[in-house]
Amino acid sequence: MRLVAQTAPYIRKNVSVGRMMLDVLVALFPITLFSMIQNGWKGIYVFLISIITMLFFELFIHMLIKWPKDMQKKELFTKKGFKKVLETYSINNIYAPLISAIIYSLILPANTAPYVVFVGATFGIVIGKMVFGGLGQNIFNPACAGRIFVSICFPLSYTNSGANLDLVSGATPLTSTNGGKLDSFGNYSLLDLFIGNRPGSMGEVCILFILVGAIYLLIRRSADFRAMLGYIFAFSFVMLISSIAYYFGVSKEKSVMEMWLYQILSGGMIFAGVFMITDPVTSPTSKFGRLYYAASAGMITALIRICGSYPEGAAFSILIMNMFTPCIDYFMRGKPNRYTWKQNLILCGTMVLFIGIIVAYILTSKGGGSL
């Protein structure tokens, strides 16, 4: 009998990183194709600029990081030198920025100014990823980093582009409910929200194709169901309690179910729950860690939607929880990789805290007071 020394885990899935990335690209295909058809050239150029920018800077900075010690700079411009650098470049170095570029494009509105797309893509791939060491070393989601950067630095570019993005003022479904006005619906039915017959970021509008991608990822086991379902369920539960509080404490103009479904189907929450919160690089490594990470992001999303100045909080919440991922891994270090009553108590306590803050805000702000 031959003994082979290897590190844990000893039972592994027959799944490579490259195959998982390819599955994500396949899952993104339906919503990407829908966005291109719906928006035409106004959406296609956003994808092209993002993909070219992120692929270029991934390769360029990778060359600087992985530069062979025995090679001089002038050798790079020779066929032999360039080939030596590319030997350290794998297919995963293409898949990863390609996925980030597509997701970044899908959380932008069509007709975004080209320079805004370029700046955000550059910031996301360089500052959000490559400065940490490149593939598999980043702590922030590159797409979220780029998205938040341009939304803060270039808000007028969105407003003036006619794209009506949910993260700024505009005639999007979430704009009407901003500030906790849960019964203030726009001119969109629940069916319009589901099939994508409404404005917003390119990837958030059609829930149907997002769910198709989610089912594919879960069947292929290329996305962690704890993160995906934890994010969506936590957001949905907090919003359900918030809708009940609004119905009984503020206004009974709309039913609880109408307000709840409107919040679930509008905005980019479902897209973020399927394609962004499930990023394995920026997520904790333990089972409970991923569940707590995703659920907390879902609760923060609900908090920002109701109490914040932005109608949408998905990208913000994921970026915030990215910062806490090392802390979660640290506290889970050495603990059994299973759920315990203490861990469940911590999760429930966190949810009660968020619900308490949101309900207090709804009742006081709409009742004539303030927090």
pLDDT in tens, 35-84: 999 888 888 999 999 999 999 999 888 877 777 666 666 666 667 766 77
Lowest mean pLDDT among 211-215, 252-256, 333-337: 333-337
DSSP codes joined into one string, 233-249:
HHHHHHHHHHHHHHHHH
**Averaged over 331-354, what is the pLDDT?**
86
The percentage of the chain sitting over the pLDDT mark of 90, rounded to a whole number, equals 41
Sign of CA dihedral 311, 307, 313, 295: negative
pTM of the model: 0.85
- Residue 65 has what pLDDT? 79
Q: Largest Cα–Cα distance of the chain, in whole Å?
A: 77
Tokens encoding 47: 């994808």
Q: CB 215: neighbour CB atoms within 10 A? A: 12
**Averaged over 286-291, what is the pLDDT?**
90
Give per-residue pLDDT as tens, 105-148: 999 988 888 999 999 999 999 999 988 888 888 889 999 999 99
Taking the CA atoms of residue 277, residue 283, residue 285 and residue 288 in that order, the dihedral angle to the nearest 10 degrees is -50
Tell me the pLDDT band of 169, cut-offs 50, 70 and 90.
Answer: very low
Output 21 or 177, whichever has higher pLDDT: 21
Q: State the Cα–Cα distance between residues 366 and 105, nearest whole angstrom.
A: 36
Give per-residue pLDDT as tens, 292-335: 999 999 999 999 988 877 777 888 999 999 999 999 989 888 77
Q: State the Cα–Cα distance between residues 233 and 228, nearest whole angstrom.
A: 9
Q: State the Cα–Cα distance between residues 35 and 102, nearest whole angstrom.
A: 11
